[in-house]
Amino acid sequence: MAVSARASRMWGSRPVFVDIPLTRKSKPNVRRKMITVNALTRKYARTTAVNQISFSVDKGQIVGFLGPNGAGKTTTMRMLTCFLPPSSGTATVAGFDILDQSMEVRRRIGYLPETPPIYPEMATAEYLRFVGRLKGLRGAELEKRVDYVMGRCSVADVKAKQLGKLSKGYRQRVGLAQAIIHNPDVLILDEPTAGLDPKQINETRDLIKDLAGEHTIILSTHILPEVEQTCQQVIIINKGRVVATDSVANLQARARNAETMILEVAPRDGSIQAEQVQRKLEQVAGVSRVQIKDRRNGGFLLETESRKGELVRGDLARAVIAGGWDLNELRPAAMSLEEVFLQLTGSDSAAQEAKPDTAANTPAADSEPAGPPHADAAQGEEPQA
């Protein structure tokens, strides 16, 4: 027997479906959405860092919040963790409003900012006890949680060591330990592998995946492989706006379904204008994008994109010949997830940002760790216009 009915309701410009209990005996609706964000906006004097973004995260999911540097990821994380008020819009965490019920939200969120919020002169266990007390833990329960998180994050062997003397990998794991000390529903991790070496990156990613069973996780990163390896869902943000929300599997399928062709087009006699060739190729049915890549042998290298199976090769070749040019080369090139990301974020710098996954490409977090937990609440904020 049906115990609930589906009904649609408008939420912003999108319809959402809600379950309506049909009988009084029916169980309370299990909240599946752990985070909802609706038209959240944050303006600084000269910048709109986050512009009307909306998304939701289901309970127990691990979601990648992906975007190039400056996309608005940190600003969003800081609004969700109640350290920065939005200029407009709303968000809820575990059903609590970030503005009206910020204490409830904070209780349910563990936050690891980009620089772990640690006191260098404190020892690991002492620091975790300190954070635990701030989160309202006391006595035996506090000791139990400190022991548990030290074991969970593999930092028990440095429990008496000063945080300032730990390696970055250890510091990051202590940062994760402090974020989960109060067993929050939601974990928000901002660039959690920044500045780590490849081995530490792998260890940290494994730990995050391990934590996903118990917590809903938002992982902010500019590293695409990080999302591929760690997350189920991805929210892609660019210039303060959400440009895609999809499962990693769907994005990968989308990459597999697109076909990129490389063409080398040269003048038959006289000169050649790349833009003219581009316009001609854009008219070929099935071609969704044409990019001028490079100069080559007196001509140009161009790249076209089409759906797999569209069989555009013959038409591309004919278009070049009909244009009065020579076709020196025509070959397929697979479209990578990187290119899908690039297409969505629409900038070369975005691709550069998303591509690397090496220590050399992750920003060095060499600066001394910041002060107290969540002391970054009001740091460096430009007055609002």
95 touches ligand ADP (CB under 6 A): no
Choose which of 71, 176, 212, 342 interacts with ligand ADP (CB under 6 A).
71
Report the helix count and the strand count for the chain, using DSSP H and E.
12, 16
Q: Report the residue from 74, 200, 204, 345 that binds ligand ADP according to the rule CB under 6 A.
A: 74
- Kindly state whether residue 361 participates in binding ligand ADP, applying the rule CB under 6 A: no
Which residue lies nearer to ligand ADP by CB, 203 or 353?
353
Would you state the structure tokens that stand for residue 223, as one six-digit string?
């590293």
Least CB distance to ligand ADP at residue 65 (A): 9
Binding of residue 73 to ligand ADP (CB under 6 A): yes
Beta carbon of residue 22, minimum distance to ligand ADP (angstroms, whole number): 44
Is residue 380 a contact point for ligand ADP (CB under 6 A)? Answer: yes
CB 99 within 8 A of CB 179: no
CA distance 171 to 200: 11
40 lies in the binding site for ligand ADP (CB under 6 A): no
User: How far from chain centre, in Å, is Cα 59?
Assistant: 17
54 binds ligand ADP (CB under 6 A): no
For ligand ADP, the binding residue among 69, 273, 276, 384 (CB under 6 A) is 69
Residues ≥6 apart with Cβ < 8 Å to 139: none
8 Å CB contact between 182 and 150: no
| Helix residue ranges, H only, 153-284 | 168-180, 198-211, 224-230, 248-257, 274-282
Query: What is the rounded distance in angstroms from the CA atom of residue 385 to the CA atom of residue 378?
Result: 16
Stretch that binds ligand ADP, among 63-71, 127-135, 296-304, 319-327 (CB under 6 A): 63-71
Quick check: 49 binds ligand ADP (CB under 6 A)?
yes
* Structure-derived torsion over alpha carbons of residues 170, 174, 177, 179, reported in degrees to the nearest 10: -130
What is the radius of gyration, based on Cα positions, of the chain? Answer: 25
Contact 160, 328 (CB under 8 A): no
The amino acid sitting at 132 is: G
Q: Which range, of 43-51, 92-100, 347-355, 365-373, touches ligand ADP by CB under 6 A?
A: 43-51
227 binding ligand ADP? (CB under 6 A): no
Q: Are 250 and 340 in contact (CB under 8 A)?
A: no
Least distance in Å: CB of 380 to ligand ADP? 5
**Binding segment (CB under 6 A) for ligand ADP, from list 32-40, 65-73, 103-111, 115-123:** 65-73
Question: Residue 99's closest CA among 82, 75, 76?
Answer: 82
Contact pick of 40, 55, 66, 67 for ligand ADP (by CB under 6 A) = 67
Minimum distance between the CB of residue 280 and ligand ADP, rounded to whole angstroms? 38
Q: How far apart are CA 279 and CA 325, in angstroms?
A: 14
Q: Which of 237, 197, 259, 218 is CA-nearest to residue 71?
A: 237
| C-alpha triplet 246, 216, 16: angle, nearest 5° | 50
Q: How far is the CB of 338 from ligand ADP (least distance, A)?
A: 18
Number of chain residues interacting with ligand ADP (CB under 6 A): 14
Among 60, 70, 225, 267, indicate the residue that binds ligand ADP (CB under 6 A): 70
Nearer to ligand ADP, 163 or 243 (CB): 243
Least distance (Å) from ligand ADP to the CB of residue 74? 3
Task: Please identify, among the stretches 12-20, 72-80, 92-100, 274-282, the one whose residues bind ligand ADP according to the rule CB under 6 A.
Answer: 72-80
- By CB under 6 A, name the one of 37, 54, 63, 72 that touches ligand ADP: 72
- Cα gap 81→106, rounded to integer Å: 6
Task: Catalog residues that contact ligand ADP under the rule CB under 6 A.
Answer: 44, 47, 49, 67, 69-75, 380-382
